[in-house]
Amino acid sequence: MTAGAVLVLLTGEISLPEALSAINPDVMIFLFGMFVVGEAVSASGLLARFSDQICRVAGTRDRLLPFFVCVIAVSSALLINDTVAIIGTPLALSIASRFRIPPAVVLLTLCFSLTTGSVPSPIGNPQNFLVATYWNPPEPFVSFAAGLLVPTIISLFLIVLLMRSGWMKVDNGTFVPPDLPHSPDRRFARITVLSLAILLSLIGIRIGGSFFDLPLFPLGVIALCAAFPVLFLAEQRAAIIRQIDWKTLIFFASLFVLMQSVYDSGWFQSSVPFTDLTTIPLILTASIILSQLISNVPFVALFQPVIAASGLSSGSMLALAAGSTIAGNLTILGAASNVIVIQQAEKAGLSIRFRDFLLVGLPLTLLQAMVYALWLLYFM
């Protein structure tokens, strides 16, 4: 993505001022703040405690599967799925080792739960944040939840059904799971808890503000306020800043530049009939298929002018968010969170084959697409 952005700058397809203005500061601030909070959760030792608590509450494999899916889904909706992918992979491998579940099965469950759980939240994933920014409903949290929460719960239930047989198998191999840091620094842990409390409180105020005419905090401001205690109070701030996912931030800055250049050229609009994608089934189908080719965030970015020109309904906007997100359940390359999980797992000597992912991802994506399409058509 960065090579493409540099190339269009060097060839004069887009000027430097146009490139800088194309970068969305709200998205960049939002991602930076959420990545800081996510890294603090891992480094402070809260993740290790969380792992112990999950295993203690679940107790058995049978109860662990739906509990794990729910925990990852809720975390993904609140902390952005790319962040949860970073801290969730060592958690998943630790759980696989404790319960002797095949690690590939737990990693697949993690990927599907990350993607699906992020659907009903405007801060669950980057493409949803873009949709919320372009759509700009009065209250994005309420609008997303009202249209997408129920079909998402059904979709999470589908994950449990499809993964249960593999989850109950016993791992006969051996692997060494990554160590979860147990930080002895209680002050750092308290600061991280404060960041999480600020995040959840501001989200609650934002949701309540739509009902009681309170000031509505921009989503970028919410993320930055949540990161503030870590950045200014924690002694580990330098290490946290070094460890955050800078590659993803560079990716998004480059994405905005390259997609603006592609749009200005008119090539993609002439190749794909965006203006014909105005019904919920078509938007869902196009989002899932095209997200495999150019990834979901670039697809939403290229779709944005159609949103501005066509005045699409709320159901169509939610179909765009749902389709571009569950596209990540079809193939490994369908979502950045999948790639993050695979990269983290390879550090532990594990890998997931493209075929194994598709074997479960294809029926899951088809079933989920039907659920979202029916719900948005008949209940929105």
pLDDT reported for residue 276: 64
User: Got the DSSP string for 267-282?
Assistant: HHHHHS-GGG--SHHH
Q: What is the pLDDT of residues 5-64, one digit of tens each?
A: 999 999 998 899 989 988 888 778 887 888 888 788 878 878 777 777 888 888 788 889
Residue 88 confidence class, pLDDT cut points 50, 70, 90: confident
Q: Has residue 234 got a pLDDT over 80?
A: yes
Lowest mean pLDDT among 86-90, 125-129, 174-178: 174-178
pLDDT at 181 over 60: yes
pLDDT of 370: 95
Q: How confident is the model at residue 339 (pLDDT cuts 50, 70, 90)?
A: confident
What's this model's pTM, rounded to 2 decimal places? 0.79
Give the helix ranges, DSSP H, for the chain: 2-10, 16-22, 25-43, 46-58, 61-79, 81-99, 103-117, 126-135, 140-167, 186-212, 219-233, 237-243, 246-265, 267-271, 280-294, 296-310, 314-326, 336-347, 354-379
Percent of the chain surpassing pLDDT 70 = 89
Greatest CA separation found in the chain? 60
Q: Does a structural domain hold residue 8?
A: no
Q: For 237-302, list the strands marked E by DSSP.
A: none
The two counts, helices (H) then strands (E), for the chain are 19, 0
Mean of pLDDT values over 165-181? 75
Confidence category of residue 358, pLDDT binned at 50, 70, 90: very high
What percent of the chain has pLDDT above 90?
29
In a domain, 18, yes or no: no
Q: What does the pLDDT read at residue 214?
A: 60
Average the pLDDT over each of 61-70, 156-165, 311-320, 324-333 and give the range with the smallest value.
311-320
pLDDT reading at 311 higher than 80: no
Q: Is residue 375 part of a domain?
A: yes
Tokens of 219: 């989503």
Whether the Cβ atoms of residue 380 and residue 315 lie closer than 8 Å to each other: yes
CA distance 310 to 21: 23
Does 6 reside within a domain?
no
Backbone angles phi, psi at 106, to 5 degrees: -65, -40
The residue-averaged pLDDT of 207-223 equals 68
* pLDDT at position 224 over 80: yes
Q: How many domains does the chain fold into? A: 1
Between 153 and 187, the higher pLDDT residue: 153
Comparing 7 with 219, the larger pLDDT belongs to 7
More confident residue, 27 or 342: 342
306-334 average pLDDT score: 84
Domain that residue 115 falls in: 23-171+178-379
Per-residue tokens: 112: 């599907």
